[in-house]
Chain A
Amino acid sequence: MVDVLYRYRVPSAVLASDDATSLLLSTAGGRGANPVFFNGFAEDAPLAAKALLTVAEVARTRYFDPGARARSRDPVVTSNLDVLRFESFSGCNGVYARFDLDEGAVDGEFFDWGTTNVDMNQPMRTALAQVSRGEPLGVAVGADDLTVQTMDATEVEKKVPLPDRWVRGFAEVSVVMAGMRLVQEFGTAHARRILTDVPRIAAKRVGWITWTGGRARLTTRPGDDDVPLAGPERLGSLARVIPHVTGLRVYAPPAEHRKGIGGRPSAERMTVPSAWELVFDGARLALVLSPEAYRGFSGEGGVLLALSQVDQSDISAHGDALQGQAYIDPQPASRPILSALGAGGRVGFDLSRGGFFHRDLPFDRSAVETLQPRLLDARALIADGAVTAVEGGAEVRSGDTIYKVRFADEGLRCTCAWFAKHRGERGPCKHALAAALARVSTA
């Protein structure tokens, strides 16, 4: 658990004057104590207001077990000097939201790059909820000295615990997104219909969304371009912004099947995350959903093997070169390092641009930068001498049980219960990881 202390110079607020309404987003943490990133106007005030409210809602919601009170964790904002990005992560670790406001959608000045927390308090949300068409909306990300003096408000301190798993999940979403590809794209009319229909599908189990006549429906026989979706009601958070949508893009990882048993391929498709990117004029709002409503993002399998194959010094060297870039080309050679940086919370992934961007999550990332528990366990098994190479694989002793890991053509296989249950859907188990790492070090 990481305890974060947000210390804002003033609370965020919507300030009304005779000629304009201004949104002041108070900042804390990051490259400075209270950085100032931007001052200007949002071209589409209601859209900006509603999108920010959506991001704020995700931050304070537990979609799985909604009866439980969610501890609100302030969203973060990143300035890449030509785009402002507002991100949040749900309390259940299963929903990630990001609102990207391009420089074409704002009229103002970018002062600096970086990532910081933003204060989202109730009075500010109440004021944002009332922003209507026809009113220009000033936007200031960060409070300068003059503003602080003018407001004459007191400093705000919030102490918020951040569970390790939440921190890791937030960071790793970028790696998950990097593995997605565009599966469907819709224009205004279809986008609005789909975004209205899908959250109302009352499916209790994971189903696949397929597209029939421009509408979405649940199917149990997915095609390659169908998207697995559990907890479709999670998309209900997008209701505010639907009237502004000009397009919808749906992304998902390539279709894969679970590993079969004993030479018989499995017909069962893997449940994977999905990303729903709403397109507006000069802006985008993406909601990324975990494979199942009760399942968070932390430790999704693709991260582990990547982390295990990258040298720490390479990660550090690349990390030092990050200077607020809005686009980092994901070349195949640099993918493992970028994935490792993503897992460390140092880069995000922009689906529409198809590339990474520099973003250092503004809280203690030691929980993130520390190896994944499964990877830690794998290394511990090796250190304990629990891995014995055998023909075609390895035997891994864990407690009183010896698990057999096989290096099969279709990937690593293990006789443990975890692999039996998931069959590759969540990546390798700790035994398989240990066997793979041991084999690499032996080679």
Chain B
Amino acid sequence: MSLATRISQAVKAGDAATVRDLLVATPERERRSQREEILAHTSRQLPPRERVPERRRAAMLAWLATSTSRELGGVVGVSWAGVPVGEAVDVLADRPRKTRNAILNSIVRNEWQRRLWPIVFEFVRRGDFNRPAGPEYAMGAVGHVVSATWPGADGRERSAEERVEVVEQMCTTDPGLFDEVIAALAHEEVATYVSHWAAGILEPVLARCGVMSRDDTIDLCLEGFLRDYKPSATRFFQRVWAALDVSEDELVSRVDRLARIAATRNPGAQWIAVQGFLNIGNGAVDVGSAAAAAEGALAGTTKKLAMVGLNLLARVAALDPDRAVRAAATGLGHSRADVQEAALAFLCGHIESSVDPTAVRTLLLGWEGTVAPHLQSQLAELVGLDTTSGRPDHNLVELQKRLDALDESARAAVGLTSVDLASPRLPAPLDFRPWDAPVLSADRRIPAIETVDELVEASVAALAGALDGTDVERVLDGIARLGSERLSKAAASAVRAQYEGVVAGNFGPARTPLLLLMRSWIDRMAPPPLNFYDLRTGILGRRQTVVGSLRTPRQRPTDNFVSLGLSPYDGGEYPANAGGFALVRMWELAHLVAAHRSTLLLATPTHAGGWIDPMVLVQRLERLASTSTVPGRFDVCQALLRVAPRPALEIGRRLGAIGGDVARAAARALGAEVDVSDDGLRRAAATRRTLGSPEVTVRVPARTEWAQSYALRFPRASPGGPRRRDDPVGLLLNGLASPPDRIPWWSGVNALLAPEARQEMSLAVTTMPRFADLYGAAVATTVVFDLNANRSTDVDHVTLAALLDPDVPLGSGAHSGLAVALIAKNETLAAVGADLFIDATEDGRLDVECLASVVVKLVDGGAGGLNRIAPRMTTAAAVSLLHADAVRRFWQVVFRDLATAPRDAHAGLQSLLQAGTLCGRGIDDGAARDTIEAMAAGSSKRAKYAREVLALADRWVSHRPELDAIDGRLDRAERWQAAADRATR
């Protein structure tokens, strides 16, 4: 009977021992020559085919004994766990060294099975294989021990105690294995692994000191701290240390290592060192080491560690005040104001005890610019700096000249009708209508795409999602005007390549309207019908449907839209959001382009921000009328929302000459009293007629338990209600008032897919320049539901960034969005919010009362905390005295109106303290003072800051914030006046 047959029989019998015996007795040459036959007989017994464990083990043993490393690695789909270790070692032991070592190295490198590590270990133990130096072998050791704690053959999950017992048993019965595990911890990768993925397995074993002595275990931890590991890799050692509860005597004998640990950059290890020093009695600790340890603690970023460091310095000061003071100076650079404060207090208390106080003061010079504002004067006093010389004041003569140079209307527009520069007052927040600003100035003009080359380049970029909204509109306009021209081979292939690349790839649904349009353009294919889902979400159907429809072969373009009427869409629902609006507009255009027709789009913005020059609108209408072309309904509605009011008799006359409902709607939108028969167009025009921003509502989700809400009310231009199919604009605007479970205002695109939606989002914010305030409301309604979200895919900041334009007025909607942004976790959104706060303070748009009132509602309702907004406000306060005063006033309103003092009130009080210190003004609101006084009792941090805030006294004699504000208004007035002058020339 051949070897292969006998092995096969043994394998089928599940007899690994016999397999081993047969192979051990067989020389390598014969094993190799019989290999093919052996494998052919036993392949069915390999896992996962074979379910009987004994047969699997026997089969794997046969393969291991007859194959090379490469051959074993080529076996796909087999899990080699379960190979009997003892038998495997036996069959490998007398294989040629090169073959065996290759297999062992493969195991170490985890090329095909890490769980065979015990086989490698056995050869290392015997001295037949050099212990690999790298972390892979070490990881195998720890992995072997950890995997022993996994559920056994019965599948039962082991309890924590059982896991510990298993490991302890393994390590006790095999000291060599335990040594490998301990040696493995010298690798950073292994230390990281046990710190994160094997918590609760090894630490209890070590802490029990059953396998390793207590002294050795303590030393092991100290060695772990002494290595240059990343902080996350030492958590294992920290847990063991904590479990050991090391005594003072044990620390004393290791004080030199504590000193070295304190010099590392690991906060967890530093904590242990500094606490260790504190726990050791005086005399046992070298003063120099203690001071160095404390200094290292103060140089970190953790407040707790820094404070403990200061405690240690207090002991050092008793022995060597000079060293203590020098070390304490490091605390002035800490990122936490309370640490700086404690360090400063220490310095004030000990500086005179130092050997050379003057030298120490010199050392402290320079820090006064970086410590928290409320500490600057104290530090300056300590080092002997004169802080009375402030920043240069405004030149009042120059300011007066500038005021006098403005005409009355310019001054009125910016709220500077009566100004007394000698005792100036802070102007009221700017209140202007969007069209009061020079939105049609030459510098805001948007050029049209002129050539097909430019159009192709822009289209490719739009498909890539690389454009902003204005450029997308230019692409639509370009396709409308130039799309009927025959494309060159190069042009068509470039757009097609990008189109096909996007469709074949993982495109986000927000891109579907553009894909639809591009296909119509390059393939002359009519777009598919739109359905309810499309309109509700603003995207073209579900992904499968989209891909399917976009990949269908060429069809003849439909003849139904050779001539478009005002209602090309006659389906069911109308779009309820800006995304849907854009979708239908592109769909209208796609029909035209598919039919080789060109047109003029009425809705193409002429100026930045989405505005249309009414004269240009008139010209477009005239051209369409001259060719008897009827514009798309949604194109018209969008144009009516974008047209900037610029009353002129000529415009009215020319619109009258054009005639028809569209021209009459445009005239009505510009203020003329004309009748419009089409209900939808009449309502679209009506929204323009009602001036002033609507009061904005932020709806509160039920789960936040607060029921207050703002109400989103519109001018009553849609008496029929928002769901009527002939009122697309009403639907669009009322979409903002959707309850939380409805589609967000701009699109139904899932936030997770939003990276591609950045372009579409920036298109959406050009939809309603007259109601830009609602963009802020949109941010508020979206973000308030999850203030702790911090996804890189979120694009709400794009919406908020639209408000950075200084010529966009900020109503209550904008302030709601700003408040939510400042209190949200998302740092990008918060950065936009901070920029908006800073800019709007400078240019006069910010209404501190309005902003603070929203924050109060959010905090009172439990939706957000002061501790997140406070540091952002503190940073803004540092920009200028005007900003510091704005922050001061903000906090006054917050504390005045909060129903109850929140737990993190100290954060707001600290920010108020810093802002007040910066601008030199205290609390000047009686109700706010009362609230803060009520918090001032006790020894809590809140009470301490409350007292300091109350102690703020007005020390500022100049009117810098007021003059800064006036200066900002003058800048605006001059810019507006210059633009108006250019326009009339």
Chain A residues close to B by CB (< 8 Å):
46, 50, 53, 56-57, 69, 122, 125-126, 128-134, 187-190, 192-193, 196-197, 200-205, 207, 212-215, 217-221, 239-240, 242-243, 261-264, 267-268, 395, 400-404, 406, 413-417, 419-423
Contacts and interface: CB of A to CB of B under 8 A. Distances in A.
Nearest to B758: A205
A203 B831 CA distance: 9
B369 A404 contact: no
A189 B332 contact: yes
A125 B227 contact: yes
Nearest to B839: A221
19 contacts: A50-B265, A132-B292, A189-B369, A192-B370, A202-B827, A204-B792, A204-B826, A204-B828, A212-B875, A213-B875, A215-B875, A218-B834, A220-B804, A220-B828, A220-B832, A261-B449, A263-B449, A264-B447, A403-B494
Given A189-B367, A261-B474, A417 B497 contact: yes
Chain A CB within 10 Å, residue with most, of B292, B466, B468: B466
A213 B489 contact: no
A401 B878 contact: no
Given A126-B228, A395-B490, A420 B828 contact: no
A262 B295 contact: no
Contacts of B494: 401-404, 415-416
A193 B460 CA distance: 45
A402 B471 contact: no
Given A212-B879, A262-B474, A413-B457, A129 B228 contact: yes
Nearest to B264: A129
A273 to B, nearest CB: 20
Contacts of A419: 457, 460
Interface in B330-349: 330, 332-335
B288 interface: yes
A190 B456 CA distance: 49
B505 to A, nearest CB: 10
Chain B CB within 10 Å, residue with most, of A213, A214, A220, A261: A261
A415 B875 contact: no
Given A189-B369, A190-B369, A264 B797 contact: no
Contacts of A212: 875-876, 878-879
A403 B366 CA distance: 58
B263 A192 contact: no
Contacts of B875: 212-213, 215, 217
A264 B470 contact: yes
Nearest to A49: B263
B226 A130 contact: yes
B708 interface: no
Nearest to A265: B447
Contact of A262 (B260, B454, B791, B832): B454
B797 A220 contact: yes
A125 B228 CA distance: 6
Interface stretch (B185-193, B524-532, B847-855, B900-908): B185-193
Given A203-B831, A402-B493, 18 more contacts: A122-B187, A129-B260, A133-B288, A189-B333, A204-B790, A213-B879, A219-B835, A261-B457, A262-B449, A263-B454, A264-B470, A401-B496, A401-B497, A402-B489, A402-B494, A406-B453, A420-B463, A420-B466
A190 B370 contact: yes
Contacts of A189: 332-333, 366-367, 369-370
A261 B458 contact: yes
Nearest to A399: B497
B370 A214 contact: yes
A400 B497 CA distance: 9
Nearest to B800: A220
Contact of A243 (B187, B299, B301, B878): B299
A261 B366 contact: no
A213 B458 CA distance: 41
Contacts of B135: 69
Contact of B335 (A125, A130, A193, A401): A193
B259 interface: yes
Nearest to B502: A417
Main secondary structure on A side of the interface with B: mixed
B801 interface: yes
A189 B449 CA distance: 52
Contacts of A69: 135, 189
A53 B227 CA distance: 11
B364 to A, nearest CB: 9
Contacts of B264: 129-130
A399 to B, nearest CB: 8
Nearest to B793: A204
A134 B335 contact: no
B299 A242 contact: yes
B228 to A, nearest CB: 4
A193 B370 contact: yes
B24 interface: no
A-B complex: 4 closest residue pairs judged by Cβ atoms: A213-B878, A204-B792, A415-B494, A420-B461
A69 B230 CA distance: 13
B263 A261 contact: no
B831 A220 contact: yes
Contact of B260 (A132, A261, A402): A132
B111 to A, nearest CB: 15
A46 B490 contact: no
B270 to A, nearest CB: 11
A416 B289 CA distance: 63
A220 B830 CA distance: 10
B801 to A, nearest CB: 6
B288 A122 contact: no
B464 interface: yes
B493 A400 contact: yes
Given A215-B370, A243-B295, A261-B474, A122 B227 contact: yes
A248 to B, nearest CB: 12
Nearest to A156: B133
B864 interface: no
B501 interface: yes
B863 to A, nearest CB: 20
A108 B471 CA distance: 63
Chain B CB within 10 Å, residue with most, of A133, A188, A243, A420: A420
B467 interface: yes
B333 A201 contact: no
Contacts of A214: 369-370, 878
Contact of B827 (A53, A130, A203): A203
Contacts of B792: 204-205
Nearest to B298: A243
Nearest to B455: A262
Given A126-B227, A243-B299, A133 B292 contact: yes
Contacts of A415: 453, 456-457, 460, 490-491, 494-495
B474 to A, nearest CB: 6
A239 B333 contact: no
A203 B830 CA distance: 10
Contacts of B333: 189, 192-193, 196
Contacts of B140: none
B296 interface: yes
A404 B453 contact: yes
Nearest to A131: B263
B498 A420 contact: yes
